[in-house]
Amino acid sequence: MKAKYQQLKRWLGDRLLARRRARLERLEREIAADAERKVQVAEYNGGLYVTYNGIPLVYGEGDTILETLEDCRDIYRDWRAATSNARL
């Protein structure tokens, strides 16, 4: 009887762990998609800006704007992941 209980306990633990991993992976995909959608580059007054929800925030030129865009998206993803983990 004890062996059956241990087997059931292990199975349940594995299921819960798999469910949590799937949930975290789904959350990471949602955060990445959100960053792609909200943090973009747009033209404003003849210059290129990194925008958040269409609001120009950071000015950039040429290749540096793409590096700035990726940095801003990384920061946004990190921030969202930190605030999302607090709610988990």
69-79 tens-digit pLDDT: 999 999 999 99
Tokens encoding 3: 């062996």
Mean per-residue pLDDT over the chain, rounded: 91
Please state whether the predicted TM-score (pTM) of the whole model is above 0.85: no
Nearest to 83 by CA among 38, 40, 30: 30
CA separation for the pair 48, 31 (Å, rounded) = 24
32-51 tens-digit pLDDT: 999 999 999 999 999 999 99
| Residue 77 belongs to domain spanning | 2-87
CA separation for the pair 12, 71 (Å, rounded) = 40
> What's the number of domains the chain is made of?
1
Amino acid present at 17 = L
